Amino acid sequence: MNKLIFRKFSLDIVNFFLIASFNITFIVWIIQAVNFLDLVSDDGHSLNVYFYYVSLTLPKIFSKTIVFVFFISIFYVINKYNNTNELIVFWNNGIKKIEFINFILKFSLLFLVLQLILNLFVVPKSQSLGRNFIKESNIDFLPNLISEKKFINVVKNLTIFVEKYHKDGKLEKIYINEKIDPYKSKIIVSESGRIIRINKKYFLRLFNGGITNINKGSTYTLKFSETDYDLSEFSTKTVTDSKIQELDSMTMFMCIKNIFLTKKLNKDEIIKKPENETCHLRTVKSIGEELYKRFILPFYTLIISLVGASLVIEPKSRYLTKFHKLNIFLIGIGIIILSQLSLKFFLDSINLAYLILLMPFILILFFYFFLLLFTKFRLNFL
């Protein structure tokens, strides 16, 4: 009987969590998807590239909402059970309040494992896939971005100007400025031209013009009647270098483990390991904070589960019930905020780093023994 009761309770939490997390994740994803529209409008990528890239941001968004949504789920379900007197079923079947709290703590381990899997493996992999896809994709939307009498610079080191753009695809009075390096550049002027596609690559086929090469102040010009200008050689203006959140977790850990072992900490120190592209030329601070977010922050899930479970401990006066619920809700939100603030002070000093690393485990023990004390001796809040 007790198993059936706990099964229904856990299913209610899971159902509410799935609905709430889907809605919140979807709303945040829509907002971010709008922000990424410049991949098409400014950077010249196709809609297929855009939708694939933004879809890979879903695991990251979901992972960031787990702690908050899980706390809301526990708080809502326990509060609902309390209002409908369903908690009495637990007590009438001989289930003690500490057993109820223990179940919630064990149940929260599933969400802890889920968040660790997302943070350590799924999110970095999905972010890396998205970055690589952008890096390898052609600028398929370029023809639609070219318009009359506008300077187009959707790719690095390349500016294109077109006087007229006819509906049949013909271009008139074309100006191209290609910057090869700080001292060398190339200017192409053409009477007419057309954008063509050969083997999934875009070319500008130019007619009747000239190419002026500039090298450290000296210039020379070549005339042509027809030439093809390869646009595929240029990369998108979108940042294609790997970001810290895309890097492998274990490799990053190996990069800074010696810092904590030797107790020598300089958060602004630049790691120089040419043999390791993951860490080379990155700061201790950036790698340390990213590892803290992946490894340690998920453990706050256990803390907020205990905070939510404290709803089963009732105040002495029923008039203070609403105040009691509000306090618990604010404490839970405060713990979530504290977890994010701790990131700001992490690595300020080696001793503070150790304290912040241990903080979630200290809070878990504190809240658990606090609840154990109140349930064992049947104490009341207030």
pLDDT band, very low/low/confident/very high, at 41 (cuts 50, 70, 90): low
Order of strands, sheet of 170-181, starting from the edge strand that comes earlier in the sequence? 151-152, 158-165, 170-181, 184-198, 201-215, 218-230
For the chain, the domains span 2-136+241-376, 144-230
Q: Is the dihedral of CA 97, 102, 107, 111 positive or negative?
A: positive
Are the CB atoms for 119 and 298 separated by under 8 Å? yes
pLDDT tens across 284-325, in order?
Answer: 888 888 999 999 999 999 999 999 999 988 776 666 677 889
pLDDT band, very low/low/confident/very high, at 209 (cuts 50, 70, 90): very high
Cα dist from 20 to 27, 61, 284, 356, whole Å: 11, 13, 36, 30
pLDDT tens across 321-368, in order?
Answer: 778 899 999 999 999 999 999 988 887 787 888 899 999 999 999 999
